[in-house]
Amino acid sequence: MPLRRAGIPSLYFGLCSESIELATGKYSLSYSILLKT
């Protein structure tokens, strides 16, 4: 099943990119708070 085999890495990559976006969002939020104070 090539479709299923290809779906697993794409799902994993999606989760990784989502977690990276969340991490950068938290960092940028804390950075903007530091700049405001």
The predicted model gives 1-26 an average pLDDT of 76
pTM of the model as a whole: 0.45
Percent of the chain with pLDDT over 90: 0
Q: Residue 32 has what DSSP assignment?
A: H
Tell whether 24 is covered by a domain.
Answer: yes
pLDDT value of position 1: 47
What is the C-alpha radius of gyration for the chain, rounded to an integer number of angstroms?
16
Provide the residue range defining the domain that includes 16.
Answer: 11-36
How far apart are the C-alpha atoms of 22 and 16, rounded to whole Å? 10
Tell whether 27 is covered by a domain.
Answer: yes
The domain tally of the chain equals 1
Tell whether 18 is covered by a domain.
Answer: yes
How far apart are the C-alpha atoms of 37 and 33, rounded to whole Å? 6
Tokens read off for 22: 């969340």
How far apart are the C-alpha atoms of 1 and 11, rounded to whole Å? 16
Confidence band of 27 (pLDDT split at 50, 70, 90)? confident
